[in-house]
Amino acid sequence: MALPTNIAGRRDRAEDGTKSAWLDAFHKGNRDTLADCYRDHFEAVERTIGSVLTGADCETVIHEVFSRLIAGEELRRSFQGGSFAAWLATVARNAAIDYRRRYAREVSLSAEAIQDASEHPGWEEATHARLLLERFQKEILPPKWSSVFERCFIQQMSQREAARALGLRRTTLAYRELRIRRALRRFLLEGASE
């Protein structure tokens, strides 16, 4: 049995009023509306993102989508009506694709790069080492050997380069370097036992 036109028209206006009230509450970020949105659409968002990503990446993007939805009025206002589920699925799919693109551009560090990074001391260790070397130079190192220490230990020059720069024979420089190394070892071991 068909409803009279005036009753059907009132029902359509009532549904439009309900939709309009929901849309207004959604745009304003009404807590209950957003909570219902999360409960009602979580599984659909999970399926949509799961078609692009898996595991922890999928979970990350699901939470990112809902976080953006809760925090971003601009995103909420981009929905102007129609199928909310379809709009949210599009938002979720785009977020998953963007995440996958970002991940594809990331360059993972090789084991060698990680090892190199761990071998380089932080600023605290570097400062401590510099202070120890300065103390060694002042308290232990004979002044006539300070140029050898500077070239070989601080500047890390090869023996040939350092000998040429200092105008010494390489064997003379090697002897002084050996003596400095022994004195430095004693200095560091005594300092470690204190």
Instruction: Please report, for the domain that includes residue 39, its CATH number.
Output: 1.10.1740.10
Confidence band, pLDDT 50/70/90 cuts, at residue 56: confident
Q: Are 147 and 166 in contact (CB under 8 A)?
A: yes
Confidence band, pLDDT 50/70/90 cuts, at residue 124: confident
Look at the chain and count its residues: 194
In a domain, 115, yes or no: no
37 and 83, same domain (yes or no): yes
Separation of alpha carbons 51 and 164, rounded Å:
66
Report how many domains make up the chain: 2
Confidence band, pLDDT 50/70/90 cuts, at residue 10: very low
CA angle 178, 181, 182 (to 5 degrees): 90
For 3, the 3-state DSSP assignment is coil
Give pLDDT, residue 110.
55
Q: Are 159 and 141 in contact (CB under 8 A)?
A: no
Residue where a domain terminates, one of 78, 105, 132:
105
In a domain, 90, yes or no: yes
Which range is least confidently modeled, 30-39, 76-85, 99-108?
A: 99-108
30 and 71, same domain (yes or no): yes
Give pLDDT, residue 156.
86
128 and 100, same domain (yes or no): no
Which range is least confidently modeled, 67-71, 92-96, 174-178?
A: 174-178
Question: Does residue 192 carry a pLDDT above 70?
Answer: no
Confidence band, pLDDT 50/70/90 cuts, at residue 170: confident
Residue where a domain terminates, one of 58, 75, 105:
105
pTM of the model: 0.48
Q: Are 53 and 96 in contact (CB under 8 A)?
A: yes
Which range is least confidently modeled, 104-118, 141-155, 174-188?
A: 104-118
Full domain range(s) for residue 84:
13-105
Give pLDDT, residue 107.
58
Confidence band, pLDDT 50/70/90 cuts, at residue 32: very high
Q: Are 103 and 53 in contact (CB under 8 A)?
A: no
Average pLDDT across the chain, whole number: 81
In a domain, 44, yes or no: yes
Q: How far is CA 162 from CA 142, 144, 178, 184, in A?
A: 18, 15, 14, 19
